Amino acid sequence: DGRTLLEVLDETVIPPKPLSEKPLRCVVQDVYNLKGKTVIVCRVETGTLKIGERVVIMPTKEKRRVKRIEASSIEMRHAVPGDPIGIVLDNPADLKRGYVLASSEENLKPTEEFTAELIIFGDLTLKPHSQVRIRIGTATINCTVERILEKINPVSLIVMSENTESLSNGEVGKVMFRPNDPVYVERYSDFPQLGRFVIIGKRGTAAAGIILDKK
């Protein structure tokens, strides 16, 4: 009796927007000086990048205009999500690996702190004020652990304790980080490509998580 499963899903589940319809996020992978011009090698994660478009460089907040887009030395009029491209801006800018290009119409701010849920699976112990090295997208930054907000049962996902003193191997928790280096990140719920990260330990990757909120 009643509606079919497919009918219920059609009425209740809202499909996510296509990546091309989301705001522009283009992640810088490298910067090269070739034949007197600066070529920014990047990947379009969301949105569409067009020649003549004004972009803001995060986290420096510099604004530039896209002069040229190319892939394999072939000039393109625009780039869409998934495209690995090289771009030339109208004026040189101080760009680094891990920087993000977005539409200049957005009022974006560098990330001052972010709250994340993570799991530790390596030789790593997090404590308030400890220093960690985090890789987000193509950026690698140093961060300070501000607070360990929650320790979470890894099976039931029930909060076991709040404002705990440490997290170690095999434990799940919610942690507040403060970047020591300039960076721009996103909430995982908004832009998964810029909202997931790993923590680098002494023997390689030691933890992984997603960003829940940021300031």
Per-residue confidence in pLDDT tens, the chain, 215 aa: 899 999 999 999 988 889 999 999 999 999 998 888 899 999 999 999 999 999 999 999 999 999 999 998 899 999 999 999 999 999 888 899 999 999 999 999 999 999 999 999 999 999 999 999 999 989 999 999 999 999 999 999 899 999 999 999 999 999 999 999 999 999 999 999 999 999 999 999 999 999 999 99
Q: Residue 144, SS3? A: strand
Distance (Å, rounded) from C-alpha 25 to C-alpha 45? 6
Whole-prediction pTM: 0.89
Greatest C-alpha distance within the chain: 71
Distance (Å, rounded) from C-alpha 177 to C-alpha 131? 10
- pLDDT tens profile 29-59: 999 988 888 999 999 999 999 999 999 999 9
Residues 6 or more apart whose CB falls under 8 angstroms from that of 35 comprise: none
Per-residue buried b or exposed e for 164-189, using 16+ beta carbons within 10 Å of the residue's own CB? beebeeebbbbbbbebeebbbbbbbe
- pLDDT tens profile 148-176: 999 999 999 899 999 999 999 999 999 99
